[in-house]
Structure 1
Amino acid sequence: MPPAVNHTMSAPEWAMLLCLSVLWGGSFFFTQVALEALPPVTLVTLRVGLAALILNAVVPLSGLAMPRGARVWSAFLGMGLLNNAVPFCLIVWGQTHIASGLAAILNATTPLFTVVAAHFLTADERMTGSRMAGGLVGLAGVAVMVGPAVLAGLGADLLAQVAVLGAALSYACAGLFGRRFRRMGIPPLATAAGQVSASTLILVPIALVVDRPWTLPMPGAAVVGAVVGIAALSTALAYVLYFRILATAGATNLLLVTFLIPVSAILLGAVVLGERLDPRHIVGMALIGCGLAAIDGRLRAFGRTRRRLPPEIQGRDI
């Protein structure tokens, strides 16, 4: 059965979404470290290739079998292209030209692209005024959190900015495309393994031609650790959560994670590295929270509940 129309997420779905935001928030740190020694396409290839090895080892240990057949693997190839090969390369290349804060703001347009695309391409994730407003409020929250300084670079390095926006659009299309795997009866773990395996098949020949990785110097321990971290945590584990959320909550709710990634990164910096939280961070988090609630449908549901209450208690706290 498909997710309900404009599905309101449950507490376990929110918990998985928050965990996914932490895993993907860490990918920016891993990427920054790894780019010191590895070119973008090679880094992306290592990321999905190691994740494929991990997940293909875990699938049989979990008592599952990888699906076979041209129809399934053509779907994996499409998902790998839209969700890994294209956006990973665009974002990693974009990060070599623009600040990571600006990249985070541009990447946070993903829910807006998803709301619009889902309205025209699905029957159960229709656009509403609250969803579009929530997307804009959430995007404003990301901009406030990251700070106005990064917006000074808006307009410079235009091609890099268009690349990150293209990645956001690709992620939105992938979220909608990936809905088919539940209908095909493929478990999230096997779907994640198939996606990164297909992505590896796409990227390996490109990396061999573009980067000639055998000519690169051997990377240091920090770079190796960053590659393992981004593959095992930010890719393998992250995509198992991704497909679990997609199967139950839908694409629009799933891709709210792009609003939460900057929140996770800033809170991790405060807790782990002792970085200071500024007032703009608190304001930005509040805006993001309002945007998430609007897109998720909680504000709309709360309004309906208030209207159904008897007039004599509508003004009381509930």
Structure 2
Amino acid sequence: MLSNRRFLILTTALAPVLWGTTYLTTTMLLPEGRPLLAATLRALPAGALLLFICRRLPRGDWWWKSWVLGVLNIGAFFALLFIAAYRLPGGVAAIVGGIQPLVVALLASRVLHERLTPRIVAAGVSGVFGVSLITLQAQARLDTIGVLAAVGGTLSMASGIVLSKKWGQPAAPLTTTAWQLITGGLTLLIVMLAFEGLPATPLTASNLVGYTYLSIVGTAFAYVMWFRGIARLNASTTAFLGLLSPVVAILLGWVVAGELFTPMQTLGIVIVLGSISAAILTKSPAPPDVNERLVKERTR
């Protein structure tokens, strides 16, 4: 029987595994040249669905906190993610995210006072090296704007992870996820209308299938699992699980899209999985019920 921590790690890992399908879904099912539309239709319907289920709005300072987290974790991240997905070959945009665990570990050591152990640093460096092996073997032109967008998205989500952990969650993960998806989605809607406008042609059946999958499975379900993990695991552990996304993306690109896959990329994947294993074996210094205690204190 799995321990509670192992089960929590496995359920949290579902989120980056599902996110790894974003790049293939984008290139195969979504209309070209509409990254902001894709980001908006991924976030807003998912947030509306979760808000309909939980039927609870933020209170007090959680109005502005939800907006900040919504922009970092959803709004800015989604926009940059889809720009990168449109401008880079499948999997490469996600691979840039290999720097995220190291960034989160550094931020968490300063903001959350989590221990930045040699083991975590070594695992972070190994993760970057592993994804670099995968990237360098990809026979594709790297677009500068696409790479910058991928890096910007990584930094945005890294900041969001640390702030989410610092501020805690005043309600169940489903509820706080709804708030962030709504605020992030509304921000994306404003940006989309300003820069892209509404679609000039009707969406096809394939487009609708792609958007529905990304919104319900890749966002509503995945983010509830992700924020649940953030609440109960330390920030570094959660961030390292995010490395599963590029692994899934590159494997799907090879199996489904017929992209080149070399022995060096295989070595890179092995190194990445090793770095994840090393990081998650480092136990969180905080007990698993810390966030639950904070919630009880705030709701008295």
1:244 to 222, 228, 234: 228
Amino acid at match of 1:129: P
| CA displacement, residues 57-92 of structure 1 (integer Å, 9 cap, x when unaligned) | 2224xxxxx243241111110011101111211121
Cα offset for 1:49? 1.0
Q: 1:277 to 1:102 in 2, by over 3 A?
A: closer
Larger radius of gyration between Structure 1 and Structure 2:
1
Q: 1:275 to 1:12 in 2, by over 3 A?
A: farther
* 1:160 maps to 2:146: yes
2:197 to 212, 222, 226: 212
**1:252 & 1:203 partners in 2: Cα distance?**
28
SS in structure 2 at match of 1:99: coil
Cα offset for 1:160? 2.8
Q: 1:19 to 1:268 in 2, by over 3 A?
A: farther
RMSD: 2.8
Amino acid at match of 1:226: G
| CA displacement, residues 284-309 of structure 1 (integer Å, 9 cap, x when unaligned) | 3321232113323459xxxxxxxxxx
Amino acid at match of 1:252: S
Q: 1:10 to 1:109 in 2, by over 3 A?
A: same
Structure 1 equivalent of residue 184 of structure 2: 199
Structure 2 equivalent of residue 186 of structure 1: 171
TM-score (norm: length of structure 2)? 0.83
SS in structure 2 at match of 1:149: coil
**1:170 & 1:266 partners in 2: Cα distance?**
22
Structure 2 equivalent of residue 126 of structure 1: 115
Cα offset for 1:281? 4.8
**1:198 & 1:263 partners in 2: Cα distance?**
30
Contact 1:139 1:259 in 2 (8 A): no
Q: 1:127 to 1:180 in 2, by over 3 A?
A: closer
Structure 1 equivalent of residue 7 of structure 2: 12
Count of residues paired in the alignment: 281
List runs of 5+ in structure 1 lacking aligned partners. Answer: 1-8, 61-65, 300-318
**1:272 & 1:17 partners in 2: Cα distance?**
25
Amino acid at match of 1:188: P
Map 1:96-111 to 2 at 5 A: 96-111=86-101
Amino acid at match of 2:36: V
Cα offset for 1:10? 2.3
**2:184 & 2:166 partners in 1: Cα distance?**
18
Q: 1:41 to 1:143 in 2, by over 3 A?
A: same
Structure 2 equivalent of residue 171 of structure 1: 157
Q: 1:269 to 1:97 in 2, by over 3 A?
A: closer
TM-score (norm: length of structure 1)? 0.79
Amino acid at match of 1:196: L
| CA displacement, residues 212-232 of structure 1 (integer Å, 9 cap, x when unaligned) | 20x520011111100000000
**2:175 & 2:250 partners in 1: Cα distance?**
32
Structure 2 equivalent of residue 308 of structure 1: none
Cα offset for 1:153? 4.0
Amino acid at match of 1:39: R
- Determine what percentage of the aligned residue pairs are the same residue: 27
**2:43 & 2:225 partners in 1: Cα distance?**
16
| CA displacement, residues 91-134 of structure 1 (integer Å, 9 cap, x when unaligned) | 211233332333222122111111111111112x2212211110
Cα offset for 1:267? 5.0
**1:254 & 1:298 partners in 2: Cα distance?**
12
Contact 2:16 2:241 in 1 (8 A): yes
**2:282 & 2:183 partners in 1: Cα distance?**
37
